[in-house]
Structure 1
Amino acid sequence: MYFTHADEIWAAHPNLRALVLTADGLTSATTDEARLTDLAERIDRRQSEQAEAQMPEIAAWREAFTRMGLKPTQYRCASEALLRRYRKDKSLPSFHPLVDHLNHVSMAYAIPIAVFDVAHVDTGITVRPATGAESYETFQGDIENPAPGEVVFGDAAGHAHSRRWTFRQSARSAVSKSSESALIVAEAHHASAAGDLTAMEAELKTGLAALGVTLGSSALLSESHRLFEF
């Protein structure tokens, strides 16, 4: 399988950097409450210092959304949406030990993280403009067709595993209790993205191992190193 970004994405977003990892043994994952508490404290400190729009990671994603012709206050990247929700309630619903942990890491770094059950991905994922023929499955069970040009996580069978890049993920490949293997993707555009994603990689390797998840390969992607095969 593979993960990559299309040429059109790099042309429009040359500062993009991505961290990709694989994980197995998800059915054995358990919650690490101590790590979630530590991450929550880091999130609280960040939010006490800055509003989401002032965080350089979020500001860079807002600029990316603007370049795509989207209103960044209407369509927010996943990390901003999580942070804004967390600021109100100081908690998030629990879904799965892996997903819960990744949500907290995403908020601590203000960088969107997507996780896909690879059993429901055909051959691989390319972040690319949609053709208009892709199918996207909502969490309500509806099927949508992204408009031509909309950035999606598309697989070889024409499934869109996200809408508007990092705005909303598809139910088709969402991690569940029966999921065994996953692809994890974190993407950023800000000036220190490469260094921050390197730090996130170290954090995820330690944190996910503590959950009982088996980590596989990982890579940092840039315009000169675009393809991750696993």
Structure 2
Amino acid sequence: MYFIHTPVVWQEHPSLVAGMLHVGDITPDADVRASVAAFEAIANKRLANTPEGELPEVQAWRRAFSRMGLKPTQYRCASESLLRRFRKEGSLPAIHPLIDLCNAVSLAFAIPIGVLDTSRIIGGITVCHAKGDEVYDAFSGETEHPDPGETIFVDESNRAHARRWTHRQSAYSAVRKETRDVMIVAEAMHDTAAEDLSRLVDALCRVLKVTKTALLSPAAPRFEFEP
């Protein structure tokens, strides 16, 4: 299985860096509460000094969304949406230990993180511009088709696993009780993206049973692993 960005995506977003992890032996009953609390404390400290919209990690994604023709305050990257909810409500709902952990890490680093069940992916994931005929399963239960030219995650079966890049993941490959093997992707474009993604990957490696990691760049654009 693989994860890649097309050359066009790298050309349009030359500051992009992606942190990749392959994680197996996922269980729905792992206790991650201490780790979640530690990462949420980091997020609280950051938000006490700076609103989420002014964080450099979020501002970089807002600029990227603008370049893609999207209104940044209408379509927010996933980390900004999580930070807004966390700031307003003081916590995030528990969903699944792996998702709770990755959401907390995303809050701490202000970097969007996608977690995809590899059993629901055919071949691999390519980040590219949509043709418009791809199939996307929304969490509402509706089936959608991305807009032509929209940046998406798509597999070899023409199924879109994310729309508007880091805005929203598909329900189809979302982590569920039966999930045992996942691909995790974190993407950033701010000035210290490479250093911060390296720290983010290390942070997840300290908690999860990670089988392979990588930092993707134009010089090393492909992540491959055996699910």
Partner of 2:206 in structure 1?
206
3-state SS in 2 of match to 1:27: coil
Q: Which residue of 1 aligns with 2:176?
A: 176
Name the Cα RMSD after superposition: 0.8
- Residue equivalent to 2:102: 102
Given candidates 201, 217, 223, the residue that maps to 1:222 is: 217
Partner SS state of residue 122, structure 2: coil
After superposition, the C-alpha distances for 1:80-131 in whole angstroms (9 at most, x for unaligned) are 0000000011111111000000000001000000000000001000000001
1:114–1:169 Cα contact (<8 Å) kept: yes
Aligned-residue offset at 1:217: 0.5
Give the Å deviation of 1:7. Answer: 1.1
Contact 2:20 2:223 in 1 (8 A): yes
In the alignment, structure 2 segments of 5+ residues that lack a partner are none
Shift of 1:54: 1.0
> CA 1:215–1:29 in 2, change beyond 3 Å: closer, same or farther?
farther
The secondary structure found in structure 2 opposite 1:152 is strand
The 8 Å contact of residues 28 and 177 in structure 2, kept in 1 or not, is answered as: no
Q: CA deviation at 1:28?
A: 5.8
- Do the aligned partners of 1:116 and 1:175 also contact (CA within 8 Å) in 2? yes
- CA-to-partner distance for each residue in 1:122-149, whole Å, 9 max, x for gaps? 1000000001110000112210000110
Greater shift in the superposed pair: 15-24 or 30-39: 30-39
Which residue of structure 1 aligns with residue 197 of structure 2? 197
Query: Which 4+ stretches in 1 moved above 2 angstroms?
Result: none
Question: Secondary structure of 1:186's match?
Answer: strand
What is the TM-score with the length of structure 1 in the denominator? 0.96
Whether the aligned pair in 1 keeps the contact of 2:79 and 2:106 (CA below 8 Å) is: yes
TM-score of the two chains, using structure 2 as the length reference? 0.97
Q: Gaps (5+ residues) in structure 1?
A: 209-213
- Classify the secondary structure of the residue corresponding to 2:128: strand
Task: Determine if contact 1:113/1:184 at 8 Å carries over to the other structure.
Answer: yes
- For the 8 Å contact 1:127–1:151, the answer to whether it is kept is yes
Amino acid at match of 2:224: E
Amino acid at match of 2:59: A
> What amino acid is the match of 2:220?
H
Residue by residue over 1:38-63, the C-alpha shift from the partner in whole angstroms, topping out at 9 and shown as x without a partner, is 11111110000101111000000000
Deviation at 1:156, TM superposition (A): 0.5
Which residue in 2 is equivalent to 1:70?
Answer: 70
Q: How many Å apart are 1:15 and its aligned residue?
A: 0.4
Q: Distance in 1 between matches of 2:24 and 2:207?
A: 14
**C-alpha displacement at 1:201, in angstroms?**
1.2
Cα shift at 1:21: 0.4
* Shift, 1:30, TM fit: 0.6
Give 2:213's aligned amino acid.
Answer: S
- Structure 1 counterpart of 2:152: 152
Separation of aligned partners in 1, 2:150 and 2:176: 27
Where do residues 1-230 of structure 1 align in structure 2 (5 Å cutoff)? 1-27=1-27, 30-208=30-208, 214-230=209-225
Count residues in correspondence: 225
CA contact (8 A) 2:57 2:110 kept: yes
**Corresponding residue number in structure 2 for 1:211:** none
More off after superposition, 31-40 vs 183-192: 31-40
Contact 1:29 1:98 in 2 (8 A): no
Q: Sequence identity of aligned pairs in percent?
A: 48
How far, CA to CA, are the matches of 1:27 and 1:41 in structure 2? Answer: 25
What secondary structure sits across from 2:126 in the alignment? strand
In 2: Cα distance, 1:28 partner to 1:157 partner: 28
Deviation at 1:215, TM superposition (A): 1.2
Which SS does the other structure have where 2:207 is aligned? helix
Contact 1:25–1:180 under 8 Å retained in 2: yes
